[in-house]
Amino acid sequence: YQRRVHGGYDVSRIHAIFTYKGKNLLKKDEIKLDYNDKDEYTHLYTLVVKPDNTFAVYFDKSEKAKGSLLDGWDFPPKSTDDPNDKKPSDWDDEKEIDDPDDKRPADFDQVQEMIIDPEATKPEEWDDELDGEWEAPMMRNPKWHGGVWKPRRIPNPKYKGDWKPRQLENPDYEPNVYLYKDISTVGFEVWTVNNGTIFDNILITDDFNHAMKVADETFGKNSGQKEKDAKDAWKKESEKKPESKEENKKDEL
């Protein structure tokens, strides 16, 4: 079977996609980037796949995700549900039930949602002849129940837990999804709406320390503040107004 990995920057997350037996497997959860990670400058992407079926993803040498390949992608699991195993009819998986002893209060319907504020007092400057008869403001009743009575919930004494079907050995299980027996070519499948996107300096190695050393020797030399300074200098130079022809003639005289 064939598997490929695509690394890409999409607004706020990194994509890591494995192709397994002709099917693209997207990571179950997103590898999110921080706000400061999202800019127009050069970035370094690193995917580490280990013999214990674990992985790590780095962005500019900073770890953004790690974990199990089997948990992170939909590779065939070690076991599958037995289709013939059915949930027993008497299996109770409700954690809580209504309290049979809890009864609806007799005055339930008499509780009003809004009541007169008992702490409100008539302002001293209030003039009944000019302002009219003073009325205390309304407030929400602290005893208001929402209008719908529901019995109290209590733990279910018959609760057996979440039912799970019996597990069977999965014949499609692949214990070594990390393994690449043959890497004959390397390429990019680029989806972009931005002009000027460039990819270079591809390195495949089984030595993580060597990869970081090469990163320092290539990406590290011109990235970060150096790249920003270079772009600022270029902008400053390009914004300079060219001298007019008359000014050039005066200089010649």
pLDDT of residue 247: 57
Per-residue pLDDT of 49-76, as tens digits, reads: 999 999 999 999 999 999 999 999 999 9
Of the pLDDT bands very low, low, confident and very high (cuts 50, 70, 90), residue 86 is very high
Is 0.85 surpassed by the pTM of this model? no
Of the pLDDT bands very low, low, confident and very high (cuts 50, 70, 90), residue 244 is low
Name beta bridge partners: 14: 9, 31
| pLDDT at residue 243 is higher than 60 | no
DSSP string, the chain: ----EEEEEETTEEEEEEEETTEEE--SS-EEPPGGG-SSS---EEEEE-TTSEEEEEETTEEEEEEEHHHHS-PPPSEEE-TT----TT----SEEE-TT----TTGGG--SEEE-TT----TT--HHHH-S--PPEEE-TT---S---PPEEE-TT------PPEEE-TT--TTTT--S------------STT---------S-HHHHHHHHHHTHHHHSTHHHHHHHHHHHHHHTSPPPPHHHHHHHH-
Query: Which of 50, 46, 149, 138 has its CA nearest to residue 106?
Result: 149
Per-residue pLDDT of 125-178, as tens digits, reads: 888 888 888 888 889 888 777 778 888 999 999 999 999 999 999 999 988 889
DSSP string, 147-203: S---PPEEE-TT------PPEEE-TT--TTTT--S------------STT-------
pLDDT of residue 242: 63
Cα 178 to Cα 197: distance, rounded to the nearest angstrom: 30
